[in-house]
Amino acid sequence: MYEKKVYNFQSGDLVSQALNHFIEKKSAEAIAKTGRFTVAFSGGSLPKTVAKYLVNNKAIDFSKWHVFFADERCVPLNHPDSNYALVKTELLDKIKAGRLVAIPEDQVYALNEKFASNSENAAEDYEHQLISAFVGKSTVRHPVFDLILLGMGPDGHTCSLFPGFPQLQENEKWVTNIDNSPKPPPSRITFTLPVVNNAHNIVFVTTGAGKASIIHEILDQNSKEYPSGLVSPTRGNLYWFLDNESSSKIVSHSISLFGL
């Protein structure tokens, strides 16, 4: 791991403001180096928190963004449970509405709806989408994302990698499937841990008191009991963006001062 930082902000709104500056910087660095910015979103509360200020950021060259989904629910793309639909509403549509250059549609890598009723085929298809986007670019054995944005569930899950589930052991595949997710809907596809851990930058965005105890266990006690605790970059940086509530049980010396 190159750098690990835990940031605490007084409110969720300040988390969104900081993420806006942080992502602007990571996007500019990646575009300067490789001509593009590869970013993966999770679902849940994350897209809204991340997008809040980002959608008005005119310093970002969104035309160079390639947008992926760290996990996705196996439902049609216009379904209320779809992570794609959420990112489209919170981010893609708002960027398009506010500026001339949007994120090109062929640079948004969505679940293939044809496979929405078969998670195994959906995962295989999504892995092929990743291969077409990464092979010949940054990849050796697993793709190297510029940024993967993660949420954490109250049971410590991240992506659709749940505590005690066999998907956690997957070392070869880039994308795997689950049909008995404890968090509904049950059928999903998800990045595997080696893909997450291979990123240049991994960011957890976690707000609310419900997650404070697990965050304390992961950050202060180095617990490996939860999937989120197994996130450990092999080449890149790991950041936690927390609000006062989710960080309330962390010992304060673990917290870094936010600065760019």
Ligand X SMILES: O=C(O)[C@H](O)[C@@H](O)[C@H](O)[C@H](O)COP(=O)(O)O
Footprint on this chain of ligand X (rule: CB under 6 A): 42-46, 71, 83, 151-153, 157-159, 183
Placement of tokens 């968090």 in the chain = 183
The least distance separating ligand X from the CB of residue 82, rounded to whole angstroms, comes to 9
Instruction: Using the minimum distance from each CB to ligand X, give the nearer residue, 16 or 42.
Output: 42
The least distance separating ligand X from the CB of residue 213, rounded to whole angstroms, comes to 14
Instruction: Using the minimum distance from each CB to ligand X, give the nearer residue, 120 or 155.
Output: 155
The least distance separating ligand X from the CB of residue 123, rounded to whole angstroms, comes to 14
The least distance separating ligand X from the CB of residue 40, rounded to whole angstroms, comes to 10
Give the integer Cα–Cα distance in Å for 111 and 122: 7
Instruction: Using the minimum distance from each CB to ligand X, give the nearer residue, 43 or 143.
Output: 43
Q: How far is CA 196 from the centre of its chain?
A: 9
Give the integer Cα–Cα distance in Å for 68 and 208: 26
Q: Is 186 left (phi over 0), alpha (psi -120 to 50) or beta?
A: alpha
**H-run or E-run covering 220:** helix 212-221
Give the integer Cα–Cα distance in Å for 235 and 203: 14
Beta-sheet pairing, 175-178 with 188-191: antiparallel
DSSP 258: P
The least distance separating ligand X from the CB of residue 239, rounded to whole angstroms, comes to 16
Point out which residues pair with 191 in neighbouring strands: 175
Instruction: Using the minimum distance from each CB to ligand X, give the nearer residue, 46 or 193.
Output: 46
The least distance separating ligand X from the CB of residue 158, rounded to whole angstroms, comes to 5
Instruction: Using the minimum distance from each CB to ligand X, give the nearer residue, 95 or 149.
Output: 149
Point out which residues pair with 6 in neighbouring strands: 240
Reported as half-sphere exposure (CB side, CA atoms, 13 A), residue 220 has a value of 14
Instruction: Using the minimum distance from each CB to ligand X, give the nearer residue, 38 or 102.
Output: 38
